[in-house]
């Protein structure tokens, strides 16, 4: 189980290196999908199955799908994957940086467990993260209202930015 | 640093460096920003799970909602850029150049 968690953490870092090395956005979106998938696995390994499901549905299924078809706006005739010279250089530099950071922050490596060990203290129907999110609807009601307001405001912002015609937000003239 | 802490911290810093050193497309900068939000979500959720402070579970949910707002605003800017400049390549955004 610890080895499985290790593979998931390595895949998270490799996925984000794949995004940060700035290839053509098609490949960067693929790297981000892989990183989000293994991020969900990391959360499940630590006992947060509900938060992992939320990440999968909202982040992967909502936001990244929009990014994937927006990648059509960044179409180029000769896409650069991770094999092209410039991008491979960035990948090597970021890999070296992560290894150096791991070597620098070596202290405390064995302090905790990689996975949950003692989770069932008492018998309960609900898991911790599920009932924790329910707090958002009771004591955190004010934050929920603010969140809804912000989402409505963002809708109006997006509609204003993409108004087009002669009153759009970005003009080249 | 525990390995889990190191992995999401380096994921955040990697996304930040990818955002700082973006090369050609505006969309790759937005994707690096999304990677940073992913690492922050994982960090907050692991805070909740490893310290067993279950009422903190609302923080990753709210972070996800706000990051959805930010992603949609970024994509709207991308669409506006592609509509006016024809492409989202950063070398075309040269209005302020002397």
SS (H, E, C) A18-81: HHHCCCCHHHHHHHHHHHHHHHHHHHHHCCCHHHHHHHHHHHHHHHHHHHHHHHHHHCCCCCCC
In-domain check, residue B98 = no
Residues A156 and A79 in one domain: no
Q: Given CB atoms, is B33 within the 8 Å cutoff of chain A?
A: no
Q: How far is CA B34 from the centre of its chain?
A: 3
- Distances B87 to A47, A68, B21, B84, B90 between C-alpha atoms, Å: 44, 16, 19, 8, 9
- What's the burial of B27, exposed, middle or buried (CB within 10 Å: 0-12/13-18/19+)? buried
Which residue of A6, A36, A74 is in closest CB contact with B25? A74
d(C-alpha A94, C-alpha A102), whole Å? 12
Residues A118 and A133 in one domain: no
| Own/partner pairs, A116-119, CB within 8 angstroms, 24+ separation | A116/A45, A116/A46, A116/A47, A116/B49, A116/B50, A119/A47
Residue B83: which pLDDT band, with cuts at 50, 70 and 90?
confident
Expressed as residue numbers, the domain containing A132 is 127-166
- Specify the number of domains making up chain B: 1
In-domain check, residue A171 = no
Residues A158 and A97 in one domain: no
Residue-averaged pLDDT of chain B: 89
In 3-state terms, what secondary structure has residue B89? strand
In-domain check, residue A161 = yes
Residues A25 and A97 in one domain: yes
Residues A118 and A62 in one domain: yes
In-domain check, residue A173 = no
- How many other C-beta atoms lie within 10 A of the C-beta of residue A130? 16
In 3-state terms, what secondary structure has residue B25? strand
Paired tokens of A69: 């078809």
- What's the burial of A49, exposed, middle or buried (CB within 10 Å: 0-12/13-18/19+)? middle
| pLDDT higher than threshold 80 for residue B98 | no
Going by C-alpha positions, the residue among A80, A97, A116, A79 that lies closest to residue A16 is: A97
Going by C-alpha positions, the residue among B96, B70, B72, B71 that lies closest to residue A162 is: B72
Cα dihedral sign, A64-A68-A73-A79: positive
In-domain check, residue A172 = no
d(C-alpha A68, C-alpha A49), whole Å? 26
Residues A79 and A140 in one domain: no
- How many other C-beta atoms lie within 10 A of the C-beta of residue B90? 16
What pLDDT, on a 0 to 100 scale, did the predictor assign at position A59?
A: 93
Q: Given CB atoms, is A49 within the 8 Å cutoff of chain B?
A: no
In-domain check, residue B97 = no
Residues A82 and A141 in one domain: no
The ipTM assigned to this model is: 0.91
- B25 to chain A: nearest residue by CA? A74
Residues A137 and A162 in one domain: yes
How close A86 comes to chain B (CA, Å)? Answer: 10
Tell me the β-bridge partners of A100.
Answer: none
Residues A119 and A141 in one domain: no
> pLDDT tens for residues A19-69?
999 999 989 999 999 999 999 999 998 888 899 999 999 999 988 889 888
Residues A32 and A100 in one domain: yes
Residues of chain A with pLDDT under 70: 117-121, 164-173
Q: Give the CATH number for residue B57.
A: 1.10.287.3510
Q: Given CB atoms, is B81 within the 8 Å cutoff of chain A?
A: yes
Residues A4 and A74 in one domain: yes
Contact A129 B88 (CB under 8 A): no
In-domain check, residue A144 = yes
**Considering the entire predicted model, what is its pTM?**
0.92
């Amino acid at each position: 189980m610890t080895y499985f968690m290790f593979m998931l953490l390595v895949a998270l870092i490799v996925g984000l290196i794949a995004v940060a090395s700035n290839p053509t956005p098609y490949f960067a979106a693929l790297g981000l999908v892989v990183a989000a998938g293994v991020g969900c696995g990391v959360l499940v390994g630590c006992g947060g199955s509900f938060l992992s499901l939320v990440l999968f549905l909202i982040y992967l299924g909502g936001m990244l799908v929009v990014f994937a078809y927006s990648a059509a706006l960044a179409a180029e005739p000769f896409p650069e994957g991770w094999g092209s010279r410039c991008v491979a250089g960035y990948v090597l530099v970021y890999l070296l940086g992560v290894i150096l950071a791991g070597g620098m922050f070596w202290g405390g490596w064995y302090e905790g467990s990689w996975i949950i060990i003692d989770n069932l203290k008492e018998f309960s129907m609900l898991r911790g993260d599920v009932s924790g999110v329910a707090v958002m609807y009771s004591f955190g009601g004010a934050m929920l209202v603010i969140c809804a307001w912000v989402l409505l405001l963002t809708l109006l912002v997006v509609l204003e930015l993409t108004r087009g015609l002669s009153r759009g937000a970005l003009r080249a003239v | 640093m525990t390995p889990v802490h190191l992995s999401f911290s380096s994921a955040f810093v990697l996304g930040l460096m990818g955002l700082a050193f973006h090369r050609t497309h505006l969309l790759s900068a937005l994707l690096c920003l999304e990677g940073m939000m992913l690492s922050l979500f994982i960090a907050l959720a692991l805070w909740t799970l490893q310290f067993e402070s279950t009422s903190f579970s609302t923080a990753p949910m709210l972070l996800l909602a706000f990051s959805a707002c930010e992603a949609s605003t970024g994509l709207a800017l991308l669409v506006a850029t592609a509509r006016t400049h024809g492409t989202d390549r950063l070398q075309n955004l040269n209005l302020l150049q002397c």
